[in-house]
Amino acid sequence: MLHLRLITPADRTDDVVRLIGRTVGTTHLVVLPGCARDPEGDVVMCDVAREAGDELISGLRALGIDSSGAITAENIDLSLSERADEAEEAAPGEAADAVLWEQLQEATHEESTLSITYVAFITLATMIAACGVVLDNAILIVGAMAVGPEFGPLAGICTAIVQRAPRLALRSAVALLVGFAAAMVVTAGFSLFMDAVDLFSKAQLEAERPNTGFIYAPDWFSFVVAVLAGAAGTLSLTSAKSGALVGVAISVTTVPAAANAAVALVYGDTGQGWHSAEQLLLNLFGIVLAGTLTLYAQKALWATQRSRLTKPERP
């Protein structure tokens, strides 16, 4: 269940209450006239089944409540109420399958922001991966994959395509490109320093690397895994099952490929550098393709449920 807290202008409260009353899966309606001070208005609260949340929020935005008042949604961890149980049963579909598009856009907007923290994480992840490729250490590669934050901008691009949000697409693309560029430049400098202190060497990079050789050997399996990971990551975001994102992060060869390319270019190994870049681009494309198709499929699925989200008019 979701808990909605709304600030509504006094002349819109009746419309809001009617909308909530018409929406299947709502309960626990509370109206507090004149309680809001900034902005001034009434406070309306209700609980709604997650399956009906997106439809209700869209209706509230159509009434202009997001511009003239406020819409706040929170997940309810515990609700002991027979009415809540009835509301959940009445709402079509399953809560785990429901997509809150406004929540998804907000989450991806935050995750795809080009910030110092984002650049720091992707840079540190790439530097860890650089150590992994030179030492042929699979544990370091897995650790770097888990640290890398690049799935946020990738999810932002997928969401922007489906929701036709060009500003989100631009923000996500900038974060992705600038983040990887900065990480690779810093990693190249890091590699030069490690070489100067005799911790990295060209011989290590060009030696047989059974544990990490796949990083600069892109093939169809790389693309298939990226597609599967993109679909899994998108489902994790839309169903609020964030625990699956860790598995997604360590399934794709993005950060390690960027690291291998940076180290290879430092040592003048253009072959490894080019193949690593191919691996990076192949994984990015696979994730975006799968994520976008997954969101389109979810959108189409829930479009068939819209007619069941409105209560029939009483005669």
Pair of tokens at residue 208? 């047989």
The domain locations on the chain are: 2-98, 103-301
From the number of C-beta atoms within 10 Å of its C-beta (0-12, 13-18, 19+), residue 196 rates as exposed
Tokens 């997928």 sit on residue: 158
For the chain, state the CA radius of gyration: 24
φ, ψ for residue 61 (rounded to 5)? Answer: -70, -35
pLDDT tens-digit profile of 268-310?
A: 999 999 999 999 999 999 999 999 999 999 888 777 665 555 6
pLDDT band at 131 (very low <50, low <70, confident <90, very high): very high
Higher-confidence residue of 155 and 315: namely 155
Compute the distance between CA of residue 276 and CA of residue 215 in angstroms, rounded to an integer.
6
Q: What is the pLDDT of residue 136?
A: 94
Domain at 2-98: CATH code: 3.30.70
Compute the distance between CA of residue 190 and CA of residue 175 in angstroms, rounded to an integer.
22
Sequence-distant (6+) residues with CB within 8 A of 175 are 112, 113, 114, 118, 152, 153, 156
Would the pTM of this model clear 0.85, i.e. be above it? no
pLDDT tens-digit profile of 49-89?
A: 888 888 899 899 999 999 999 999 998 888 889 998 888 88
Compute the distance between CA of residue 16 and CA of residue 9 in angstroms, rounded to an integer.
10
Residue type, 244: A
Instruction: Give CB contacts under 8 A, 24+ apart, made by 166-172.
Output: 168/105, 168/108, 168/109, 168/112, 171/109, 171/112, 171/113, 171/114, 172/108, 172/112
> In the beta sheet, which residues pair with residue 27?
47
Residue type, 117: T
Pair of tokens at residue 203? 């011989």
